[in-house]
Amino acid sequence: MQIRFLVPGNVRHGSGGNKYNAKLAGHLTALGATVETVTVDGDWPVGSPADRQRFSDMLDGGATVIADGLVASGAPEEIAAAVNAGTNVWILSHMALADHHDLEAKALVAATGVISPSAHAAAELEVRHGTQNIVIATPGAEKADVSAGSEPKHIVAVAALLPNKSQELLVHALATLQDVEWTAALIGSEQADPSYAAEVRAAVEHYGLENRINVTGELTGPALEDQWQRADLSVLLSRSESFGMVVTESLAHGVPVLVRQGTGAVEALGSADAGLVLDLGDPNNLADTLKNWLTTPVLQERWRSNALQAREHLQGWDATAATVLRALAAPDAG
């Protein structure tokens, strides 16, 4: 099967969507598909007329198309024309758009089908737009070495510094625990929202925590792996999250995770007691939970043991790609 994979050119930090796209493309290729990944420049998710024409041109050529929702949701007329001309166009919707409801609704209806990275994200699309032809292809996890951990305990928050990711909330909580030993690292791009990144750094400095909280910027390769090897707990406090691949990345290292209630990260954590789902309606819950974990060795051991068990049952990216390939190849896909 020939697949043209259209991805947005205006997301330049290491987002979960970008990582998912790259892993999916690589594993579709490993399963025998011919995948051409094309970066679509433009001011997405709406784009100018020239942007949409560029996108339209890439829908022509005979290949089945997977288009990232950040691009595709802004071009429903172009998708409808391509599908009417015989091209199968699947929208990979990582997360429903916060704005542009009507455009997204029209794009989803026009498409051959929709690929969603989680049941949570699929349900959100259906709440917003009604029943869709949605295939759920949850992210895989790479095999990883088990974390050695640290003394004092080391807490990591791996996500671009964005208001949605709520790193400032973590800084405020840790600031109340200065009588307990710990270190922490905020690992993620500061370029995605420089203003918010500056607020996070200012909060760290305000509390005098520069020697305990390291704002590292985006890390990859050995530098990121070094942080995972030191980690004892991972924290993902996003207000909105379609899945949260960092959760399964944490579990792949045997590192338990704290996630926010009501997000797709709960799905990623699964039923294993490998951390905790937090109700952050009470602002004290985060600090109280962290203090309880930091001061209770039995709880640390239980979460760690459960994370190691969960590690043995993580899905690989080959399963993700196989799910997508079956959908694309189904006789009724057109």
pLDDT of residue 13: 63
Nearest to 90 by CA among 134, 58, 137: 134
Question: Which residues have a Cβ under 8 Å from the Cβ of 242 and sit 6 or more positions away?
Answer: 16, 94, 95, 116, 117, 118, 120, 121, 124, 264
Give the torsion sign (CA, 155, 159, 162, 165).
negative
pLDDT of residue 171: 98
Q: pLDDT by residue for the chain (334 residues), tens digit each?
A: 999 999 988 666 667 888 999 999 999 999 999 999 999 888 888 888 998 899 999 998 777 999 999 899 889 999 999 999 999 999 999 988 888 889 999 999 999 999 999 999 999 999 989 877 899 999 999 999 999 999 999 999 999 999 999 999 999 999 999 999 999 999 999 998 999 999 999 999 999 999 999 999 999 999 999 999 999 999 999 999 999 999 999 999 999 999 999 999 999 999 878 999 999 998 799 999 999 999 999 999 999 999 999 999 999 999 999 999 999 998 665 5
For the chain, the farthest-separated pair of C-alpha atoms sits apart, in whole angstroms, at: 66
pLDDT of residue 44: 82
pLDDT of residue 136: 97
Nearest to 129 by CA among 160, 107, 159: 107
Predicted structure pTM score: 0.91
pLDDT of residue 11: 65
In the chain, the domains with their CATH numbers are: 2-140+316-333 (3.40.50.2000), 154-311 (3.40.50.2000)
pLDDT of residue 217: 96
pLDDT of residue 99: 83
pLDDT of residue 188: 96
